[in-house]
Amino acid sequence: MKKTIQTIMVFCMVLLTASLSAQSNVFKMQIKENKGECTGVGKMSCYLVKYHNSKDWEFFYAPIANFDYQEGTRYRVLVKRTKLENVPADAPSYKYEVVRILNQKPMNRIADRKGKGNVEVITMVVKEDKVDCTGVGPMKCLQVKYKESDDWQYFYSGITNFKHEEGYRYTLKVKRIERTHVPADASKYEYQLIKILKKEKVPVNSAQTFLGKHRWKLIQLNGKTVNNSRAYIEFDTKMNRVHGNGGCNGFGGAYKMSADKVTFSQIASTEMACPDLNMESELHAILNTPGLRYDIAEQTFNLYKDNKLVAMFGMAPKEG
């Protein structure tokens, strides 16, 4: 009887040991939002991880299968560990694979693995066309908007691993790395593409393209013909900006245009004293009216308020 009890106890211990061993091969861990430089066979980049009893981040030297890791995101995962046989001395003894992602959280700011500055994960919108700009010399710049931007901004840097295709508007997830010891003529940041969140074809607006090729001289205002006036308007279709002259003072601002509506905004002008500012005041009042309807005839650009023609501009060559 005593021997039987001992046999049962040994059998139970074997089962318990096997159960604990099986449990230890599936475990939870956190994976940090950036990797760290480590040394295995040679220099490499390692995951930084924490287990349930970890106080600090630890290097994790092995690859993790079934895991689409994105820098800038912190993960909590359930991992399966499988012991490998006949493994070379310089290779991992275990295979690791993600069973399930329990939680993932974008981290806005992460430490650069080289310790040379901060890394910020940002979202930016890249416009469908480039523009002429001047950095160290004449060049072509992307046009971008950030979350807090209202207007397009010139972007003088490159974005590693991003190939811009004209005619497409992109929303990008980008890693922005703050550089140290930057020359005066260089960018403060380095940009690396993490992911293209959206890519959409933007149809070419032939009306805007046509407007941007010419100067438009004022020839009629509020039903009255305008003769020998300096008043005109020009469109910068790449930056969605306008500039011109009201007859005496220069002006400039922004515009938004749809298929048949245009709204001018932020219109500002010089303040020169002129003999007659009535026409200029009328023109500015029209330009400050939101949601004007427009059409383009063969050689005229026409503005309508409440379906009434309020301004007509005639096509003229751009100067300079």
Residues with Cβ within 8 Å of 84's Cβ and at least 6 positions away in sequence, in order, are: 91, 92, 93, 94, 95
Question: Residue ranges of the domains in the chain?
Answer: 26-106, 118-201, 206-316
**If pLDDT is split at 50, 70 and 90, which confidence band does 182 have?**
low
Q: What is the pLDDT of residues 19-34, one digit of tens each?
A: 333 335 899 999 998 8
- What mean pLDDT is reported for the chain? 82
Residue type, 128: E
Nearest to 35 by CA among 53, 47, 19, 20: 47
For residues 65, 71, 73, 76, the Cα torsion angle rounded to the nearest 10 degrees is 30
Q: What is the pLDDT of residues 82-108, one digit of tens each?
A: 988 887 766 677 889 999 999 998 875
Residues forming beta bridges with residue 113, ordered by sequence position: none
Q: What is the pLDDT of residues 253-310, one digit of tens each?
A: 999 988 788 999 999 999 888 877 889 999 999 999 998 999 887 789 999 998 899 9
For residues 284 and 286, give the distance between their C-alpha atoms in angstroms, rounded to a whole number: 5
144: its two tokens: 């971008």
For residues 61 and 39, give the distance between their C-alpha atoms in angstroms, rounded to a whole number: 9
Q: Is the dihedral of CA 273, 274, 278, 280 positive or negative?
A: negative
pLDDT of residue 23: 37
pLDDT of residue 220: 95
Q: What is the pLDDT of residues 151-169, one digit of tens each?
A: 778 888 889 999 999 888 9
pLDDT higher than threshold 50 for residue 112: no
pLDDT of residue 3: 52
Q: Which whole number is the average pLDDT over 131-135?
A: 72
**If pLDDT is split at 50, 70 and 90, which confidence band does 184 have?**
low
pLDDT of residue 148: 67
More confidently predicted of 144 and 7:
144
Residues with Cβ within 8 Å of 7's Cβ and at least 6 positions away in sequence, in order, are: none
Architecture of domain 206-316: Beta Barrel (2.40)
Q: What is the pLDDT of residues 60-77, one digit of tens each?
A: 888 899 998 887 789 999
Cβ contact 281:288 at 8 Å: no
pLDDT higher than threshold 70 for residue 11: no
pTM over 0.85: no
DSSP-H helix ranges across the chain: 2-24, 206-212, 278-287
DSSP-H helix ranges across 25-83: none
For residues 110 and 128, give the distance between their C-alpha atoms in angstroms, rounded to a whole number: 30
Determine if residue 3 is left, alpha or beta; phi over 0 gives left, psi from -120 to 50 gives alpha, anything else beta.
Answer: alpha
Cβ contact 294:302 at 8 Å: yes
**What does the chain come to in residues?**
320
pLDDT of residue 99: 92
pLDDT of residue 90: 64
Residues with Cβ within 8 Å of 271's Cβ and at least 6 positions away in sequence, in order, are: 249
Please report, rounded to a whole number, the percentage of residues in the chain having pLDDT higher than 70. 83
